[in-house]
Copies of this chain bind each other. A is one copy, B any other.
Amino acid sequence: MQGNMMDVPLTIPFILERARSIFAGREVVSLLPGGRDEAGQPIPRKHRTTYGEVADRALRLAAGLQGLGLQPGDRVATLAVNSYRHLEAYLGVPSGGFVIHTVNIRLHVDQVAWILGHAEDRVLIVENVFAGLIPAIRAACPKIEHVFVLGPTPAPVEGAEDYDAFVMGHEPMSRSPQIDERDAAGMCYTSGTTGNPKGVTYTHRSTILHSLASAPKDMLDVGERDCVLPIVPMFHVNAWGLPYTCAMYGAKQVFAGVFSDGRNLAGLLQDEEVTITAGVPTIWMGLLAELDRAKAEGHPYDLHRLERLVVGGSAAPESLIRTFEERHGLRLAHAWGMTETHPLGTASKVPAGVDERSDEGYALRAKQGRPAPLVFLEILSEDGERLPHDGKTMGRLVARGPWIASGYFKGEGQGNFFTMDGELWFDTGDIATLDERGYMHIQDRAKDLIKSGGEWISSVDLENAIMAHPAVAQCAVIAMDDPKWDERPLAVVVLRPGMSVTHEEITAFLAPKFAKWWLPDATLVAESIPIGATGKFLKRELREQYRGYGNAAQRSESAPGD
């Protein structure tokens, strides 16, 4: 028997209309480039607008795109940093019936062109700072018919039009086209550490459900009184969905643009009275250095309004969570997800009865958290059997839910999706534990896991422990080939200024926490660790760099089970 409830589709125009009608006065603040200093570095200029104006311009953009003759479902790419104009595209492109395809600005121009071609984008919206790439892109991507440049340029750009002029040259779209909630609304390519990048297409339905599910206090805790600064880029999984979640709930939004260094961030967090911010661990390490500096110099930032710093992308070590809390009274809170999960899979909050500043609390906060409502997680053995949720057993993490990908664009990468008990699941490629209360703890990427004598060693666990050493700024642990144990761990560390450390000091530091056979066989000091386009360590490159190192290195003869 069907029930009698209105058949209202879950579509993004409702978010736009809500922001326009009841949050019209809430602010949207962006740092834009405002000239250059004597050293040639860009100087930030603060731009203030409102949801009312953003919504109006988003509707003009939608009307303009319709006027270009685009068909429903056509892709409109952005190559842009976080700003109010990018937010207009987030709201306006899908409301016009099109798909916003956010492209990673940190990729090489050849990769950008490959992705634009694969997605068959018809329109490209480019940040002015990347306008120099336009000729190469146009040459490589003949299917792109129109290019619009965000922000002023010193001179007109060959083959491109001014975005503001285009937007303001149209009246606001007065009525959204018919949109089915399962129509595509957004598109984002995975970073593709193996093989070509693959496209994930978000639907209107998944975006609305993700926005609803992200807001409650056990997830990202967003409301109208909040001010949210997503440092995570808008080209990276919808900036973790925050632009939509904030517009749905009326939170003020702040965008740092190209200014994501510690000093500019700390200034924005303080001056705009930010309550929630979100980014990868490397961003928080940069912010920590700036907060430490300011405190040491006797003029600390006033961040008393800042409720939580959401950390995702990769795991934050417990030591970093403790340091923020103990040194600056700031709360780092884990969330976990992937391009394929929209991305909110889990968020971390300590459960009832646990003090978040107790040892148990910190240990739980170092995990990635509990699944969002409607998301189900399992860990599987190599044979595909479900493993126990005991907080200890490691298994391959798989996920299912209404905002989790069922496949990639053009049917690629089918191997990442499989059927279990008649239901479709996504294989995340992560190795994790799950505990009785649902807390998920990433142990490693399956491909980064070190297999020593038939047993698994978590590189992430070792990295987090080594990063708590006072001399260590960054650490990556990788597998090196070993004739006896197959693989053994190798630690690569970047030192804090003026510090030094020996391999013996590192193993002595780790010894109380790990079985002897987990301890790295060698510790190497490096100037830096290569970081990829999404802010993660490029372990593949590291492994290439240190291939064959194992044969020359000093060996411990400890074995699994020692």
Contact = CB atoms under 8 A, between A and B. Distances in A.
A209 B374 CA distance: 11
B249 A218 contact: yes
Contacts of A213: 212
Given A22-B370, A202-B5, A203-B5, A223 B212 contact: no
Given A249-B218, A438-B21, A8 B407 contact: no
Nearest to A248: B373
Interface of A: 1-8, 10, 14, 17-18, 21-26, 72-73, 99, 180, 182-186, 200-206, 208-209, 211-213, 215-218, 221-225, 248-250, 252, 342, 349, 351-352, 370-371, 373-374, 376, 389, 400-409, 424, 426, 436-438
A387 to B, nearest CB: 14
A547 to B, nearest CB: 36
Across the A-B interface, the 10 shortest Cβ-Cβ residue pairs: A22-B438, A1-B73, A3-B203, A3-B184, A215-B216, A3-B201, A212-B212, A5-B206, A8-B402, A217-B223
A24 B351 CA distance: 12
Q: Which of A200, A217, A407 has the most C-beta atoms of chain B within 10 angstroms of its own C-beta?
A: A217
A249 B374 contact: no
Chain A interface helix/strand/loop/mixed:
loop
A438 B4 CA distance: 27
A216 B184 CA distance: 26
Contact of A217 (B221, B407, B409): B221
Nearest to A1: B73
Given A3-B183, A73-B1, A225 B374 contact: no
A15 to B, nearest CB: 8
Contacts of A26: 352
A241 to B, nearest CB: 13
Contacts of A401: 6, 8
Contact of A400 (B3, B8, B24, B351): B8
Given A217-B222, A223-B349, 11 more contacts: A1-B183, A5-B201, A5-B405, A7-B182, A14-B374, A18-B371, A18-B376, A212-B212, A217-B223, A218-B224, A249-B373
B3 A185 contact: yes
Contacts of A437: 22-23, 25
Contacts of A222: 216-217
A407 B72 CA distance: 32
Nearest to A14: B374
A352 B50 CA distance: 14
Given A212-B213, A249-B373, A352-B224, A406 B7 contact: yes
28 contacts: A1-B72, A1-B73, A1-B184, A2-B183, A3-B186, A5-B202, A5-B203, A6-B400, A6-B402, A6-B403, A8-B401, A8-B402, A14-B373, A21-B438, A22-B371, A23-B437, A25-B436, A26-B352, A208-B374, A211-B373, A212-B374, A215-B217, A216-B216, A216-B249, A217-B222, A217-B223, A224-B351, A225-B351
Given A370-B22, A373-B248, A5 B205 contact: yes
A377 to B, nearest CB: 10
A339 to B, nearest CB: 12
Given A212-B373, A216-B249, A402 B5 contact: yes
